[in-house]
C-alpha cells in the first residue's frame, strides 16, 4: 500500500463524509485519482463500511443497553478460535467480537433494549455453545468517548482563556 492510499484512509477514517474534491486537494491529487483510490480500497475490502457515531442518549426512547461479555472457550482442533467466533458473531445481537489475550479468549459486545434481554442472550444463546466454558458480563453505564469522539454532557462551553486587566 502506498503513501497516498494511507493518507486517504487516514482522512476518511476521521471524516467519512468528506467530498472527493476536498479530499483531492488535501492529498494533492486529482479527483479522478482519489476516486480510483477509494474504489480500489473498497473493492479490496480495506474500506469495509462508512458509519456515523451517534449519541443515542439524546434520542428519545432509543437508548439501548450495551454489554461487554468476556468469554472463555475451548479452541477447536485445526481451527483454533475461528469456528466458535464465527458462531458467535452470526447472532444479530452481537455488535463486535474480538480475540483477546489474558484470562478470557473472546470479548463480545452486544446491545439490547434491557439488561434482561442481554441476560437471556447470555443464558440461552451464548453459554449454551459447546465450546464456551465461562462468561463474565460487564454493562456499559456511560459513554465518554467512542471511536475518538468525545461525548459531552451539557452545553458547549467557551474554552477561551479569560483575559483580565
Query: How far lies 75's CA from each of 101, 131, 132, in Å?
Result: 14, 7, 9
Q: What is the pLDDT of residues 80-90, one digit of tens each?
A: 899 999 999 99
159 pLDDT more than 80? no
Angstrom distance (rounded) from CA 139 to CA 69: 9
47 pLDDT more than 60? yes
Query: What is the 8-class DSSP label of residue 128?
Result: T
Question: In this predicted structure, which of 47-56, 91-100, 103-112 has the lowest mean pLDDT?
Answer: 47-56
The pTM of this model reads 0.75
pLDDT score at 162: 74
Amino acid at each position: 500500500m502506498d503513501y497516498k492510499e494511507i493518507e486517504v484512509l487516514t482522512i476518511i477514517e476521521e471524516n467519512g463524509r468528506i467530498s472527493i474534491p476536498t479530499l483531492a486537494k488535501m492529498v494533492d491529487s486529482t479527483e479522478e485519482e482519489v476516486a480510483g483510490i477509494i474504489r480500489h480500497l473498497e473493492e479490496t475490502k480495506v474500506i469495509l463500511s462508512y458509519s456515523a457515531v451517534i449519541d443515542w442518549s439524546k434520542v428519545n426512547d432509543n437508548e439501548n443497553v450495551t454489554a461487554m461479555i468476556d468469554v472463555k472457550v475451548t479452541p477447536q482442533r485445526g481451527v483454533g478460535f475461528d469456528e466458535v467466533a464465527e458462531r458467535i458473531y452470526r447472532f444479530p445481537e452481537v455488535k463486535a467480537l474480538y480475540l483477546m489475550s489474558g484470562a478470557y479468549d473472546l470479548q463480545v459486545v452486544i446491545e439490547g433494549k434491557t439488561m434482561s434481554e442481554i441476560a437471556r442472550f447470555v443464558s440461552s444463546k451464548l453459554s449454551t455453545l459447546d465450546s464456551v466454558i465461562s462468561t463474565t458480563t460487564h454493562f456499559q453505564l456511560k459513554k465518554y468517548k467512542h471511536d475518538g469522539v468525545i461525548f459531552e454532557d451539557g452545553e458547549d462551553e467557551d474554552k477561551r482563556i479569560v483575559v483580565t486587566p
